[in-house]
Amino acid sequence: MLNIALKMLFRDRAKYAMLVCGLAFCSLLMCQQSSVFCGLMMWTTATVRNIGAPVWVVDAKVEQANEVIPMRQIEVDRVRSVQGVAWAVPLYIGIEQARLGDGSFQNVQVVGLDTGTLTGRPMNMKAGRIEDLRLPDSVVVDQVAVEKFRRKGIKIELGTTFEINDKSARVVGICHVSRSFLGQPYIYTTYDRALEYAKPSRKQLSYVLAAPMPGISAEELATRIDKLDGLRAIASDDLFWMTIRWYIKNTGIPISFGTVVILGLIVGVAIAGQTFYLFVHDNLRFLAAFKAMGARNSTLAAMVLAQAFSVGFIGYGIGVGLAAWFGNTVLAKEAPPFFMPWQVPAFVACVILFICSFSALIGLTKVMRLEPAVVFR
């Protein structure tokens, strides 16, 4: 009878199309918005992921990765003095102003890597060599800088020069890294040169990057460093989630995206629930005929459930497919942010399952109460 049930559904084209469109739209809305939200959250952790150090040491008041409270240079040595530290290097990150060849300005995020080891270097070099950062005035720019400068009519290539706070910068490499939350280009240079680019200040150290000796976990090392006065040490994974939690708690981003996801749910329940109710209602006479002919309640329930879940499955597939297509399209442009972890389609599947169950339940209450004798009225 399931085959019969599906034929009854698929051949009622208007209601079938309405149901599938409603559920597809609902899936698309929830999946796309959740993925953009996840993408945005990934942007907030770009620095942590780009640098990739096991342990981050920051000022004790820092709450998330993008918050920089400068520390004294001596903190590097204090961290190195902790038992279990394999190495510890300084890292500078600060927003500076770059002046382009045509006189226009662009805010950039200068990343000063430890001069000796270049720890935290970008892994994906599109042009040039990261080691060339040791040459005078040299910087490595990311793909966002290339794009932003191109929009201003300046072509960035190896050898291009511009100024950062009136000091010369020469491009020796182009890399591809995760873009930052604020969308400012990353400009990599050495730690010492970064301090030259930065405005003079008593404290200039942004982070101390550290790694544990073999046999010690990053979390354990972080706990040990944490005991130093005025410092906070966080394992990379913890900093990643701490940053995301901070943005969720302290910005309106989740409310904004959450509202759209809830709207998707409401639209899905309203359209699918109502249309499915009408579909069952229109077929009640025939379901009563089936009942009179000897169909059990369980058979009719299976038919209604098969109808509800088949439109749910198809609508979900179309919606998630469209969201993935959208994601694939925007990923090429890297904006807007888009990241679809498996949890997003799984979450949307659960919501669609709920909508279908709700719709089926409405129909089933009618079917279960149905008197087969109504077929004679």
Partner 1 sequence: MSNKIAVRVENVVKSFTGGDSRVFALKGASLEARFGEILMIVGPSGCGKTTLLSVICGTLKFEEGQITVFDKDLGTMRNGEITRFRRENIGFIFQQFNLIPTLTAVENVSIPLILQGKSRTEAEKRARAVLEQVGLGERFKSYPNQLSGGQQQRVAISRALVHEPRLIICDEPTAALDSVSGHKTLELLKASALKPDRCVIIVTHDSRIYPFADRIVQMDDGHVIGHFDDHTQIQHA
**Which residues sit at the interface with partner 1, rule CB under 8 A?**
1, 3-4, 7-8, 11-12, 285-286, 289-296, 299, 371-373, 375-377
> Is residue 209 within 8 Å of residue 119, measured between CB atoms?
yes
Least spacing, CB of residue 310 vs partner 1, in Å: 14
**Cβ distance to partner 1 smaller for residue 68 or 301:** 301
> Is residue 54 within 8 Å of residue 235, measured between CB atoms?
yes
**Cβ distance to partner 1 smaller for residue 1 or 216:** 1
Sheet strands (E) in the chain: 55-59, 85-99, 105-113, 125-128, 138-142, 161-164, 167-175, 186-190, 207-212, 231-235
Least spacing, CB of residue 367 vs partner 1, in Å: 14
**Cβ distance to partner 1 smaller for residue 11 or 202:** 11
Rounded CA-CA distance 323/327 in Å is: 6
Least spacing, CB of residue 301 vs partner 1, in Å: 14
Q: How far is CA 229 from the centre of its chain?
A: 34
Least spacing, CB of residue 272 vs partner 1, in Å: 19
Which of 275, 257, 263, 296 lies closest to 363 in space, CA to CA? 275
**Cβ distance to partner 1 smaller for residue 3 or 201:** 3
**Cβ distance to partner 1 smaller for residue 30 or 306:** 306
Query: If you ran DSSP here, which 8-state letter would residue 130 be given?
Result: G
Least spacing, CB of residue 17 vs partner 1, in Å: 14
**Cβ distance to partner 1 smaller for residue 260 or 289:** 289
Residue 155, both tokens:
């072509």
Rounded CA-CA distance 300/293 in Å is: 12
Rounded CA-CA distance 48/62 in Å is: 14
Least spacing, CB of residue 7 vs partner 1, in Å: 6
> Is residue 63 within 8 Å of residue 37, measured between CB atoms?
no
Least spacing, CB of residue 289 vs partner 1, in Å: 4
Least spacing, CB of residue 180 vs partner 1, in Å: 56
> Is residue 49 within 8 Å of residue 206, measured between CB atoms?
no
Helix axis angle, 274-292 to 343-369, nearest 10°:
40
**Cβ distance to partner 1 smaller for residue 104 or 297:** 297
Sign of CA dihedral 184, 189, 190, 194: negative
**Cβ distance to partner 1 smaller for residue 190 or 310:** 310
**Cβ distance to partner 1 smaller for residue 66 or 275:** 275
355 exposed, middle or buried (CB, 10 Å; 0-12, 13-18, 19+)? buried
Rounded CA-CA distance 151/370 in Å is: 67
Least spacing, CB of residue 373 vs partner 1, in Å: 4
Rounded CA-CA distance 55/195 in Å is: 22
